[in-house]
Amino acid sequence: MHYLNHAACGLMSDATRNTMHAYMCQEQQMGSYLAAKQVHKVIASVYQKIAQAIHARPEDIALTQGNSDGWGRIISSMDWRQGGRILVARNEWGGNLGVLMQLRAQYGVRIEEMPCNADGLVDIDALDRLLQTPTSLVVLTWFSSNSPLIQPAQTIGALCAQYRTPLLIDAAQAMGQWHIDVQALQCTALTAPGRKWLRGPRGTGFAYVHPDFLPSLHPLGADHFSRPWQTDSTWVHRTDAKKLELSESSIALRLGLSQAFDEWNAAGAAKVQEQIQERATWLRERLQTLPAVKVHIPQREHLSGIVTLECVSHSHEHIHTSLQRQGIEAALCPAAFTPWDMQARQLHSVLRFSPSYDTSWDSMAFCVDALQRALQP
């Protein structure tokens, strides 16, 4: 198989798989609680590895079951009983929009789209004007999932800090392929999964929460780990980001995430970013030469490792099926993934290719040739 779908789910290494399998064998032999005790230091180190990767403190990190899980925990832990106002970029992930629409229906929260240019890039001057009116939260999908667009998160973060407005960044497509510094971003919170560019197991992820924002979060879902009993009838939330967690979790998956972080660090974050960029640029340049294909290239200095296109001569479903038959794993992204952006661009779907830093050049060339064959009458 020629795998170009790391934006959906990266390929785990043998070492990551073997780490999880070995632990599951331990659970089988001695039970999950004793097995967990034996690896507690490794699990504790996962928080340190994540914190180091994004320039945060370990106590500001919560482990989650994925990006949507972490994002939803933060949003649902905020107090919306009096309503509020949330500003959203056009390229926001569809799942996140679903949560925001629920807030609007349940609490009357106002959901407003931030003005942008034709590519979906947030208009900073317009955002400045919007923030002059009291705003409860700005949410930003930093890297689009349906195009190589990268939003100016650092500029937006500085603006939100100026107006003392919380900023929640969805870094699902950034973590593992781009340098992340939460201090430079000045974000209030940030979430990411382990399964994409980090190539960790599905069902893993993390949430970063700034310590000044943490006291305002009151998760309803709590147990003896996140909100332990004190005395008599008193329960108090933890004072670190683990207040977003529950005691029940998959230790095997967390060990897999730890191994994936080790491999990512060993490869070198800067090298990974450079190699992904090089492959994505090469692929865009080659795909642009094919007939009846429009490759999406936002007018930005930097683009992500995602390569998307639309075809005017064949249905995207036909092309995707043809590629699968030829042994290529790519993605067919429907409008529901990013509904606001897809509707604005009048697209019902896009074809997406996402090579990793070690995707072979032979696979890249085969992909171009296979797409050319799929486009034949």
Task: Give the least confident one: 159-163, 224-228, 248-252.
Answer: 224-228
CA pair distance 30, 233, nearest whole angstrom: 35
pLDDT at 238: 76
Residue 341 clears pLDDT 80, i.e. is over it = yes
CA pair distance 55, 159, nearest whole angstrom: 20
Residues 109 and 256 occupy one common structural domain: yes
In three-state secondary structure terms, 251 is: helix
Tell me which amino acid residue 277 is. Q
In three-state secondary structure terms, 53 is: helix
CA pair distance 146, 114, nearest whole angstrom: 18
Picking from 235, 266, 297, the residue at the C-terminal end of a domain is 266
pLDDT at 295: 96
Element spanning 319, H or E: helix 316-325
Q: What is the CATH number of the domain that holds 341?
A: 3.90.1150.10
pLDDT at 265: 96
- Domain with 142 in it: 14-266
Structurally, the chain folds into a number of domains equal to 2
Residue 222 clears pLDDT 80, i.e. is over it = no
CA pair distance 264, 49, nearest whole angstrom: 11
CA pair distance 93, 143, nearest whole angstrom: 10
pLDDT at 301: 83
Residues 315 and 185 occupy one common structural domain: no
- When pLDDT is cut at 50, 70 and 90, the band that residue 377 belongs to is confident
When pLDDT is averaged across residues 242-255 and rounded to a whole number, the result is: 92
In three-state secondary structure terms, 104 is: helix
Residues 42 and 175 occupy one common structural domain: yes
pLDDT tens readout for residues 97-134: 999 999 999 999 999 999 999 999 999 999 999 999 99
Residue 376 clears pLDDT 90, i.e. is over it = no
pLDDT at 220: 82
Picking from 242, 266, 290, the residue at the C-terminal end of a domain is 266
